[in-house]
Amino acid sequence: MFIKTLSMILIFASSSMLGLYLSRLDEYRLKELLMVKKMAMMLASEIEYSSSLVNAFTHISERLEGAISLLIMDVAVELSKRKGNTFMSIWKKNCEHYSRNTYLTPVDWQYIQDFGKNLGYLDKHMQHKNISMFIHYLDDSIQKINSQKDSNKRMYRSLGVLIGILIIIILI
């Protein structure tokens, strides 16, 4: 009886915890999207003052945290080695590496990769246009998360608890 009760408590706790974790995914993604937006805005300022991408990424990575900070730091290091690879190939390789360690979606990463396609190319006007298009996408995503996150949060929490109860009922 004791073992059965303990098992039911464990199932209920695990299910609720899973629901809690899923309810927070939007928040984690939101936090990372905000970090990406911060990076893009800082990059716009650096470009305005004609910093090279290596210098810009180095400065910005010091003021950010998490995977985005590591991503641009690694890109800066690789660029400064001047091994002859194109910026796009370096950016893409690092995006693919860091996409595994974040809460951002594959679509978010696709946009980040596309953002890199025009970085460094042509003049400042072109750079600012590229950055503002990217920020536009980020703002849309952030807005969408903000409008859905509370209802998603409630839904996942409730689902976690309810699924736990359902499993217990089936087992009984």
Interaction pattern, residues 73-92, with another protein; x per rule: CB under 8 A:
------x--xxxxxx-----
Counting every residue written for the chain, the total comes to: 172
- Short-list 161, 156, 172, CA closest to 8: 172
DSSP character for 100?
G
Cα(24)–Cα(3) distance, rounded to whole angstroms? 31
Instruction: State the nearest-atom distance from the C-beta of 90 to another protein, in Å.
Output: 9
Q: Is residue 106 close enough to count as binding another protein by CB under 8 A?
A: no
122: left (phi over 0), alpha (psi -120 to 50) or beta: left
Region from 12-20, 92-100, 124-132, 160-168 binding another protein, contact rule CB under 8 A: 124-132
User: How big is the site for another protein, counted in residues (CB under 8 A)?
Assistant: 22
Closer residue to another protein, CB minimum distance, 87 or 103: 87
| Structure token digits, residue 153 | 């949060």
Cα(85)–Cα(130) distance, rounded to whole angstroms? 22
Q: Is residue 14 close enough to count as binding another protein by CB under 8 A?
A: no
Region from 33-41, 119-127, 144-152, 157-165 binding another protein, contact rule CB under 8 A: 119-127
Q: Residues in the site for another protein, rule: CB under 8 A?
A: 47, 50-54, 56, 79, 82-87, 119-124, 126-127
